[in-house]
Amino acid sequence: MARAFAAINFTDSVKAAQTRYRSREANLGFELAEDSRQEITAREAEFIEARDSFYQATVNEDGWPYVQHRGGPRGFLKVLDENTIGFADFSGNKQYLSVGNLNANDRIAIILMDYRERRRLKIWGRVRIVHEADEPALIAQLEMTNYRARVERALVITVEAWDWNCPQHITPRYTNDDIEELIQPLQNKISMLTKTLSSSSISTNAATATITPKELGDGKLPLVISGIRQLTPDIRAIELRDPSGQPLPEVRAGSHLAVPVILNNGMKALRYYSIASNPNRRDIYELAVHQEMQGEGGSAFVHKHFQLGMVLHCGLPANHFQLQDDQAPVVLIAGGIGITAIKPMAQSLQSQGRAFHLHYTAKSPTQMAYRDRLVRDLGGQITSYFSQQEQRLDLEALFRDAATHTQFYVCGPERLIKACLAAAAQFGVDRSQIYFERFSVAANSQDVAFDVVLRRSQRVIKIAANQTVLQGLTAAGVDTLSDCGVGICGTCAIKVLAGDVDHRDTAFTDAERAGSKLMCVCVSRAKSTLLELDL
């Protein structure tokens, strides 16, 4: 038996839309499910009777929908039995749009929201309008004795279907009662600490304190850590799932995820990690994180503090490194941890039956994440190179011998990317055939300090030689958009009003930079001693 909500809602036009937008296969499970989800269980009943408002939709005789908010004291929407819910309809603005619609068409759809826990329940049903003169006992059952509002009628709903929604895009909101409940433990702890401090001396060292939160971040996509395993001595895989078991947002090879971390200085930040799992999977995202001992502490936090059951509120997946949709032959080049972006490309190309070869280079086999799996799955379509064994990838031969229109996808350290671009230029491979993604900003010992002037406020911000413009703006409290942090997405681009820019991004062409006068402040710097920005 199909899920009842699918039987109601998956019309021919809906199925056509699912097919067009490539979600038809993912939705077939609802039509093949054994549990129809028509009867209200204890879980739904508890959720329904804890709500103090909901949204209802009705349709008039001309086919126009009307959505109305209905509110009251918590529990005013009651579960009468496993197939029936009802509520007392209080006096309102006297327009009677919903009641009038229901007189002509008894169908209703309801959405119940729990903003605090980011949950929502959808209900479809048919309505019977009840007046006190006809059924006084039922009106009395639905009446709220402590709520001073006049009951005009009751709406009794026979539930035909219900379904839980995923928490995606629900912004958390809290009532005064929620806030009181959440801060009460903190108030208790403050009270306890105050009493302790009054009777003894306590010494703490903030630099050595270690606190692992159960939840972290404020992104729109909550994900729970469901698996952790060590791929190499320095690379750890983190498996993420939807907390309620729903399918994850669809991704393509090359996608990345904005993951919340806490840096060495105690500041919260985002780090961007490639989604290394097979893009055909909708149940998990897997990240592979290389621990950088000399960094700001983001990857070290992942290795030290990410634990099973921890919930990360991540940003929605984004992709600035997409495979092109054609049949051109493909060469994949991965250096070290760059395999995290290249691996799902190889898996996608293999499933599509396209011609490709993966060249994977690292210091040694023990430092190659996913190597055993890739060798097993790809066979002759992968070649490995180990620099400690004097094995080098011959880029000149690779670009010289490549077939016409071959596409090259490169992810790895800056020196690998520069070497690929140089080899391509040497053998006449068009720059448009090369796609690459950095996983860090290249350091340059020749960088010098300069000043940034903000036109609108006339503030002057000094940018150190080892600091990006974005880091300088953030440290000065200037709020500006950013995403990738390595100059590939263009999110952080700001208009330059004066000064000479050293462009280091790959988001814009030279023509686009000249025409728009934009610079990516996450990587680009100044050639002059001063830059004036439109901020």
Report pTM. Answer: 0.56
| Superfamily of 37-165 according to CATH | Electron Transport, Fmn-binding Protein; Chain A (2.30.110.10)
Q: Which SS3 state, helix, strand or coil, does residue 303 take?
A: helix
Give the pLDDT confidence score for residue 196 in this predicted structure. 62
Tell me the percentage of the chain whose pLDDT exceeds 90: 52
Beta strand ranges found along 33-118 (DSSP E):
53-59, 65-71, 77-81, 84-90, 107-114
For the beta carbon of residue 324, count every other beta carbon within 10 angstroms.
Answer: 11
Structure tokens at 37: 């989800």
Give the pLDDT confidence score for residue 204 in this predicted structure. 37
DSSP class of residue 256 equals E
Check whether domain 215-319 has CATH 2.40.30.10, yes or no: yes
pLDDT over 90 (residue 142): no
pLDDT band at 206 (very low <50, low <70, confident <90, very high): very low
> Any idea where the domains of the chain sit in the sequence?
1-36, 37-165, 215-319, 330-438, 450-533
Inter-CA distances, 413 with 97, 167, 272, 358, 408, Å: 63, 37, 15, 17, 16
| CATH classification number, 450-533, choose in 3.90.190.20, 3.40.50.12160, 3.40.50.300, 3.10.20.30 | 3.10.20.30
pLDDT band at 205 (very low <50, low <70, confident <90, very high): very low
Which residues on neighbouring strands pair with residue 531, listed in sequence order?
Answer: 452
Question: For the segment 355-394, what is each residue's pLDDT rounded down to a tens digit?
Answer: 999 999 999 999 999 999 999 999 899 999 998 888 999 9
The CATH fold of domain 330-438: Rossmann fold (3.40.50)
Q: How many angstroms separate the CA atoms of 526 and 535, rounded? A: 16
Report the chain's mean pLDDT, rounded to a whole number.
87
Q: How many angstroms separate the CA atoms of 340 and 274, rounded? A: 6
Question: For the segment 306-350, what is each residue's pLDDT rounded down to a tens digit?
Answer: 999 999 999 999 888 889 988 899 999 999 999 999 999 999 999
Whether residue 440 contacts residue 488, with contact meaning beta carbons closer than 8 Å, is answered with no
Give the pLDDT confidence score for residue 207 in this predicted structure. 38
H-assigned helices in 283-404: 298-305, 339-352, 371-378, 395-400
